[in-house]
Each structure stands twice: as C-alpha cells, then as structure tokens.
Structure 1
Amino acid sequence: MATSKKKTAGEHPALTQFKQSDAKKVKVAVSDIDGILRGKYLHRDKFLGAAEPAPGGGFGFCDVVLGWDMMDVTYDNTTATGWQHGFPDALARLDLNTARHVPWDDDVPFFLSEFVNADGSAHAQCPRQTLKRVLKRAEKMGFKVMTGMEFEWFNFLETPQSWAAKKGVGPEVLTPGMFGYSLLRMNQNRDFLNAIMDDMLAFGVPIEGLHTETGPGVYEAALGFSEALEQADRAILFKTGTKEIGAGFGIMPSFMAKPHQQLPGCSGHIHQSLSDGKNNLFFDAKNPRKMSPLFESYLAGQVACLMEFAPMMWPTINSYKRLVDGYWAPVKPTWGVDNRTASFRVIAGSPKATRLETRCPGADVNPYLAMAAVIAAGLDGVEKGLKLTAPPITGTNVGGEHIARAPRTLIETTRIFEKSTIARDWLGDGFVDHFAATRDWEWRQWLDAVTDYEMKRYFEII
C-alpha cells in the first residue's frame, strides 16, 4: 500500500523527513522504572498514525512496563498498575524532537516516547515525565537547567549465552589490571572504542571524552553538555547503545554500580548549571570562589536534602556496595572546591565552565530519575533561599568528620524517600508512592535470595 510523502502545513521537520524517506519501519522506545529501554519496531503506517498531533496521536504500550522489575517479574505491591487492572495498554506519545537513526541497525529511524494519560496529561509514574515535571517548575522559576553525565562501566568478554552458562559467576574481563588513562589498553580494543565514539555521534549522543578507568576492562565516557531533558535522553541511549555496540564485538558492557568487592565501583556523575538562556547563572566574578549566591543556594539544597531522594540515585541492592569508605565514591553529603572525594564538587572558573558536579549517583541509575532528584534538591534550596552553613571539606572528608554518612541499604533510603514531603512536593504523590513500592519489592527479592556469598561462607562449615 502506498503511503503519502506530502508535507502537512506546520508539521514537525522530523516527520516531514520521514515521509520523504523510503523507511519501512521505525524503532521506538520508552523507559521503564529501572531505566531500561523497552521498545518495538513499528510499521511505517502505524508510526505515521502514532505521530499525529495530540490528542489523536500516540500508540498503545502495555503498562506492565511500569509494573514489573528488570527481570520481567510483576510487582505485588503497586496500585497504579498490576494484575488487579489487567495490565491494559497505556498511551505512549512519541517525542518527535528525539528523532535519530541507529547506525548499527541499518540506520533505522528511532524515536523516544513517554507515557501520557488518556486526556494527554503527564503519566505520574513515567520516568521521563517525572523529569519534565521538575524542569517545568524550573522554567517557571526562570531557569534553564544545563547538565552533563559521565558514566564508568566494566566490559566483559561474555555473551548472554556464555553468561547464562556461568550462572552469574566469574565473568571474563575485557583487559586485565588497573590501568587508567591507558593508551595501550585503548589500542588493544580500538575498534570497539572507535565504534562507541563514532556511532554514538551519528546517533545524536556526542561524547566529549572516552578513556580507560582504573580497573580491569573499565571505561569512562563524558557526554556532551546540553539541556537537562536532552542530556537524560542521551544518557539512557548511551547505556543501551553501548550494550548493543558491544554485542557486535563479543563484549558485554555492565553498568552495575559494584561488580567486584575489591575493585572501585562505577559512577554516574551529573554536572549541572542554571542558565537564563544566555548566561551561566552560577558564575560570579566578584566572589572569591566564582560562585553566585544562586549557586550557593542550589548547592545548599543538595547538601540539605539529597538524601531524601537517595533511592533515585542508588536504586538497586548493589548500589550500596559502592558506598564504602576508602574508595572513590563519596559516602557523606559533603561539598568541596575541585575535590573529587566530596559528594558535591564545585568546579568554579570561567563563566562557561562554572558548574556543580554531583558525584553521588552510580552508573546503575535511571538517568531521568537521577537527574530529576539532583535538580529538585538543588532548586528546593533556591526556592527556600538556603545558605551554605558548612565549610568545604579538604582532602578526604577533612572538615566533615561529624557529618553522618549515607545509609547502607536500599530499604533505609526508601523509607526516608517515602516519608519525604520535599520529594512529594517536587515529584508528586503518584510517583513517590509507586517508586517507593518498587524499591520495597527490590529489597524483598534480595531478602529471599540465597547468594553465592552465603554458599561459600556457610555450606561446608555450619
């Protein structure tokens, strides 16, 4: 059946470009609660129907995507979705601004989507909508939020089949030894690294820097700075895309926060600044630290209340294995000037470069939710006009000895989050209740599990 290639007056350029192409299908995806992209191919005609302007546009996507965990096991404690509702279709709306092509999938057109209610309003449990809710409030305050994400991750010489055969034990690392910033190790896997750099750029995910990190087979990538929603889109696409690219080389990337007890964990640092559309509002040339009063209030907000959003930064059982003393991951809500041992690293210099780096999140985050958390915490400080009362730490927590460390378990942070009036104010009751329930589920799966650690410790001796 022939399909129209005519441009409709006022239509989105991405839609016009698609109509003028010979593409027969489109790949679309939405984020689940854990930050895993769930998607499908759509036939050309189905896509064109879904791309119609609201309220007629959109396509059905089973709401189990928000009602199961990363292993496709349905939650038993949620009310927004579940067996009691029969898992109907939710309405997914395409964001035509996310148009791109997938270089490693024959340049198939690709679009991100988000969940909406039947009346077109934002779906309370949708991760992308949760970030947009925070950014809309920032816009009302007169701010454009600029962000950049960095990820560290391990790479293994495994396939899904080989890893299943090993039953989750003993993955083979891509390269041996602790060799950060190594040109030698980069050269050993240059085809893989070049594919990440080049294919990601073609995919609309520019990478500012890519290098080996300290740890066997560990890499780090810094994504190009952008507006916050675009950055979160880039981040979730980077994690998925890296896995897809790696599979083509027989490599399995892992964004687990802490794959090995004796090795450093993997971070998901978030750089932030506020703009009025032209100027970096965090910069103040007259301040000795080059920090504006706005920057100080934003930082004070994160210092004061980021723990109330903690499960959005540390969302898994494994997240908390990264938060150990003596490693690179900060364990206290401390701040410092260009100090990588602090949770909040102030990078102050030029009008362009002045920013905050929040170093708490791990690589296992859902980028939409981690970004929503740090921005909400910072803007809460701005709304309340908070002042920095604690001095910056120096060295490793020098000056922060009496500051309480972060909780060590997911259930502890979940209980704080669930009771937080600040989290509910910024994210909404519908999201807080649902996300807290999903983290409670994640914790209970851990409680029921018999682990390799327990078998090694107790099996013979007890």
Structure 2
Amino acid sequence: MGSRAAEQRQEARQLAARLTAEGVRNVALTWVDNAGIARVKTVPAERLAAAAERGVGMSPVFDVFTSDDAITASDHLGGPDGDLRLFPDLERVTTLAAQPGWAWAPADRYDQLGLPHPACQRQFARRMTERAAAAGLELRMGFETEWVVTRAPAGHPAATGADEPLDYPCTGPAYGMTRVVELSDYLRDVTEALSVQGIDVLQLHPEYAPGQFEVTTAPGDPVRAADDVVLVRETIRAVSVRHGLRASFAPSVVAGQVGNGCHLHLSLYRDGTSLHRTPDAPWGLAPDASAFLGGILGALPALLALGCPSPASYLRLQPSHWAGVYQCWGVENREAALRLITGAPDDPDGGHAEVKTFDAAANPYLAVGAVIAAGLHGIESATRLPEPQTGDPGVLGVRERARRGIVRLPATLTEAADRLEKSAPLYEAMGEVLHGAVLAVRRAEEAHFAESEDDAIAAATRWRW
C-alpha cells in the first residue's frame, strides 16, 4: 500500500513538472453539483502533486446549491459546518486547447478521514459501473451535446439583461450548410480544440433552433463519458468566448422554441460481444439487453428528475418535438423516449439505445449512474420490453394512447421529483445522502420558479449551463 502511494506521488510530481514545462500555470478541478452546474477549485500547476496527495478543501454545502446559487438544505447536508477534500483524477488531466496556460481534471470527493463522500456523484457513477461489471456487463456510453451560440453583448461577455434580444451570429436554415459557412472558423476551432484534448468527434452539424449546433463524441466507459461531456461543454464555452460569442446549453434558451437536449447513448456487451446483435432474438436484443432497456423504460418517470432537473427542462419537453415525452420505446423512432438504433448491418459493434429526454442541465454522473441502476434493476426483476411503438404518439388520440399503454412522462419537475422520491431502486442505488440532497435541490428549484412565466424561467436559466 505504501509502495503504491509512493508511486502515485512520483507520478503526480512528474505530471506537474510536465505541465509546467508546457506552460500550464493553473489546473481547474471540477465537480458537477446536483443542479447540474460545473463548479471549480483551481490550483497552480506546481501544486498538483500536493492536491493529488492531500486533496483540496471544499464545503459539503455545494451539494445543496441550486442553479441560481441559492443554498437549500437536506436532512444530511447544508449549513456552514464540515469539510471535504477534492482529489483530481490524474489519468484525466488535460491541457486545455482554448485556455492557454490552463489544464483541467475531474475530481472525486472524500471526507477528512479519506472515506468516499456519500453524495459524490462521480463515485456514484463509478459504483454503478462496477456493479454492472460484477454482473458481467460492460457498458459504453456517449452524449450528444446541443448548444445555442449568440454574439456576446457589448461591454462585457456576461452583461445581458433578461429581456435583451439574442443576437445570433448565423441566420441560415435549420440543418443548413449556410450556418456552417457563416461560422466555419468557429466550428473548426471547436473541433480542433476537442481533438487536441483527446476527444474523438464523430460528427458536428447545425440543429433546428436559431444558432443551434450539435456535436457527437465517441462512446467510452460511463465515468469517462460523463467526464467527456463536461470537458466538451467547457471547451465549447471557451472557444465561443475567444470568438466573441456566448454558448448556452440550457434546456430552453427561448421559451416556445426547440430547446437543447443532451441525449445519452448506451450499448451493452458481455465478454466483448454486443448484446444488441443477437441472431433470432426479438429486435436483435439478447435477453439481458432487453431486460436492461425495460428497466430504463420503466424508471423513466423517476429518471426525469435526474436527466431533466430544472423547471426549464419541462419547457423543452413538448410533444411532437423529438424530445421523447411519452413513456414508450421504438426502433429508430425519434419521438420515443427510448430509441433503439439498429446500426449498419455490416457493423459488428453496431446497435445501441438512446435516452432522448435528457438535457444538459443534468449532472452527467447522476444521469449515467441512475440509468445503469435502472437497467440492472430491470435484469434483476426480469423486466420485459413491451411492443415497440411506431410514429408520433403525440398525434394519437387520448383513447388510442391508452389502448396502446402509452402514458405521458412527467410534465413538471414536481411530478418527476415525486416519482424519484418513491423509487426504491434509485434510492437504494444512490443512497440516502445523495438521494436526499438531489430531492432537496429539486424542491428548492420548484419553489423558486413556482410563480414564474415560461419566458421568465427561460431567461433566468439561459446562461446557467
């Protein structure tokens, strides 16, 4: 044990020396709170080894911060007392291409005795990944990141009034090449920065809403996927600033328009073999894959409180907007909340599933951990997928949806939080402290926006993510 600790200290010193030699002066250590905000402590590069050995102090109260920086409380967390230690993951230290002199690392949180903090979302995601591995399952996950880019207001990048009209730097049509031409330098710099940082970009394209784009990155293990999406967002934000632009990842940038999603893609393997390409199995799904997806589908009402955690999320979740607002699944159906993607016939690794409801207000570590927990519960309880749905459930009458067993997912954060509160599988997986902290933040967000109109909710949350 002592030998391994000595090796880690030496590795940290060597890494710090390398960063300093490369001109890195500061390292940003990030965690994501229960409101989905990436919070940070920074250390000088030469102090990275000390941070890796002893951690960096922080208050447990961050677990009950809301998106507007107010502070609530749960049964276990809140108030000025206590201290935690942030430990950077040295394997993920990344020199930032769009922030000269800076590097980044995600951090895990421990108490002063070196025990895992029970509300650490990143460690929750790791625990669920390890639980899946113990069941013989390997998961690969990845996110699609959507954002809206506008010109920064004159004077100061953050100086904008709630009612100030947004100044879009591109005016081309949805999915149009015109937008790429108008912002070709910017988009080139986004992809170049991501590539330099080791992020494998699969595709980038204009999206539906004004000024909206989407980038898809390669899948990896669940914790890495959550790390990657944090790095992707902050890289896009940094490149935007350098171009005099602002990037919003908020679920609803303008009320009444199509919002930003952050769809979660996942695939399952056992012994290196895809469980999405089983010959003669219904929809090509091996029994465990079918039960895993059935578990996710059944838990979606509760999962919304984690993947769609803001009142602004529910401005985006509208029928017939490809957001997946009905609790159903379908094969290549973009209106289903859970979409099965078959992949090319000649691709042995093809085939995966997509959770379409989630957005970038979500803490990605909570999202991947909870989805794994729901899927494993589906296997444990031998859940069966119902028949897939075709077409848009939103155009069906109420009676036809009832006949098919299609129900609306929660239409408000209150409804979703109520379902999370009653979810025994997610409570067990998350633990009392994390589960309670998440619910406290959700209830505080509900109360804060209870009397707000849609436009006010969108304006208040537009630049929080």
Give the TM-score taking structure 1 as reference length.
Answer: 0.88
Does 2:43 correspond to 1:42?
Answer: yes
3-state SS of the aligned residue for 2:327?
A: coil
How far apart in 1 are the matches of 2:454 and 2:349?
Answer: 48
Give the 3 Å change call, closer, same or farther, for CA 187–344 of structure 1 in structure 2: same
How far residue 452 of structure 1 moved from its aligned partner, in angstroms, is: 5.7
How far apart in 2 are the matches of 1:14 and 1:209?
Answer: 34
How far apart in 2 are the matches of 1:105 and 1:440?
Answer: 36
How far residue 8 of structure 1 moved from its aligned partner, in angstroms, is: 5.9
The one-letter code matched in structure 1 to 2:351 is: T
Segments of 5+ residues of structure 1 without an aligned counterpart are 1-6, 455-462
The one-letter code matched in structure 1 to 2:74 is: T
Residue 169 (structure 2) aligns with? 174
Does 2:394 correspond to 1:391?
Answer: no
3-state SS of the aligned residue for 2:273?
A: coil
Counterpart among 332, 348, 352 of residue 351 in structure 1? 348
How far residue 382 of structure 1 moved from its aligned partner, in angstroms, is: 1.3
How far apart in 2 are the matches of 1:368 and 1:268?
Answer: 13
Say if 1:156 and 1:171, in contact at 8 Å, map to a contact too. yes
Counterpart among 372, 377, 381 of residue 380 in structure 1? 377
Residue 458 (structure 1) aligns with? none
Residue 259 (structure 1) aligns with? 253
How far residue 355 of structure 1 moved from its aligned partner, in angstroms, is: 0.9
Residue 409 (structure 1) aligns with? 412
3-state SS of the aligned residue for 1:334?
A: strand
Give the 3 Å change call, closer, same or farther, for CA 302–272 of structure 1 in structure 2: same
3-state SS of the aligned residue for 1:34?
A: coil
Q: Percent identity?
A: 26
Does 2:335 correspond to 1:337?
Answer: no
Post-superposition CA distance 1:39-61 (Å, at most 9, x none): 23313443221222xxxx31212
How far residue 79 of structure 1 moved from its aligned partner, in angstroms, is: 3.5
How far residue 107 of structure 1 moved from its aligned partner, in angstroms, is: 4.7
The one-letter code matched in structure 2 to 1:306 is: L
How far apart in 2 are the matches of 1:78 and 1:300?
Answer: 32
Say if 1:179 and 1:216, in contact at 8 Å, map to a contact too. yes
Post-superposition CA distance 1:387-418 (Å, at most 9, x none): 12x21111112785542101211111111111
How far residue 24 of structure 1 moved from its aligned partner, in angstroms, is: 4.5
Say if 2:277 and 2:286, in contact at 8 Å, map to a contact too. yes
Q: What are the residue-to-residue correspondences of 1:99-118 with 2, within 5 Å?
A: 99-118=93-112
Residue 31 (structure 2) aligns with? 30
Residue 208 (structure 1) aligns with? 202
Q: What are the residue-to-residue correspondences of 1:55-454 with 2, within 5 Å?
A: 57-75=54-72, 77-83=73-79, 86-159=80-153, 161=156, 164-176=159-171, 178-180=173-175, 182-276=176-270, 278-287=272-281, 289-349=283-343, 350-388=347-385, 390-397=386-393, 400=401, 401-447=404-450, 449=452
Give the 3 Å change call, closer, same or farther, for CA 325–448 of structure 1 in structure 2: closer
How far apart in 1 are the matches of 2:213 and 2:294?
Answer: 32
3-state SS of the aligned residue for 1:381?
A: helix
Give the 3 Å change call, closer, same or farther, for CA 297–216 of structure 1 in structure 2: same
3-state SS of the aligned residue for 2:146?
A: strand
How far apart in 2 are the matches of 1:304 and 1:450?
Answer: 31
Post-superposition CA distance 1:278-299 (Å, at most 9, x none): 2223320232522211111111
How far residue 189 of structure 1 moved from its aligned partner, in angstroms, is: 0.6
How far residue 87 of structure 1 moved from its aligned partner, in angstroms, is: 4.3
Say if 1:306 and 1:373, in contact at 8 Å, map to a contact too. no
Say if 1:281 and 1:292, in contact at 8 Å, map to a contact too. yes
Q: Which has the higher contact order (CA 8 A, sep 6+)?
A: 2
How far residue 119 of structure 1 moved from its aligned partner, in angstroms, is: 3.2
Give the 3 Å change call, closer, same or farther, for CA 354–73 of structure 1 in structure 2: same
The one-letter code matched in structure 2 to 1:46 is: R
How far apart in 2 are the matches of 1:361 and 1:44?
Answer: 35
Give the 3 Å change call, closer, same or farther, for CA 45–259 of structure 1 in structure 2: closer
Give the TM-score taking structure 2 as reference length.
Answer: 0.88
- Number of matched pairs: 439
How far apart in 1 are the matches of 2:189 and 2:81?
Answer: 39
How far apart in 1 are the matches of 2:410 and 2:39?
Answer: 31
Residue 4 (structure 1) aligns with? none
Give the 3 Å change call, closer, same or farther, for CA 35–42 of structure 1 in structure 2: same
Give the 3 Å change call, closer, same or farther, for CA 453–203 of structure 1 in structure 2: closer
3-state SS of the aligned residue for 2:450?
A: helix
How far apart in 1 are the matches of 2:456 and 2:85?
Answer: 43
How far residue 15 of structure 1 moved from its aligned partner, in angstroms, is: 4.9
Say if 1:313 and 1:373, in contact at 8 Å, map to a contact too. no
Say if 1:299 and 1:381, in contact at 8 Å, map to a contact too. yes
* Most deviating of 8-17 and 102-111: 8-17
Say if 1:269 and 1:359, in contact at 8 Å, map to a contact too. yes
Post-superposition CA distance 1:35-90 (Å, at most 9, x none): 322223313443221222xxxx3121233322322322211x3233322xx24431
3-state SS of the aligned residue for 2:283?
A: coil
How far residue 127 of structure 1 moved from its aligned partner, in angstroms, is: 1.9
Segments of 5+ residues of structure 2 without an aligned counterpart are 458-465
3-state SS of the aligned residue for 1:405?
A: coil
How far apart in 2 are the matches of 1:267 and 1:441?
Answer: 23
The one-letter code matched in structure 2 to 1:65 is: F
The one-letter code matched in structure 2 to 1:175 is: C
The one-letter code matched in structure 2 to 1:109 is: A
Post-superposition CA distance 1:332-362 (Å, at most 9, x none): 1111111111111111244301111111112
How far residue 14 of structure 1 moved from its aligned partner, in angstroms, is: 6.2
3-state SS of the aligned residue for 1:380?
A: helix
How far apart in 2 are the matches of 1:168 and 1:120?
Answer: 47
Q: CA RMSD in A?
A: 2.4
Counterpart among 13, 16, 19 of residue 18 in structure 1? 16
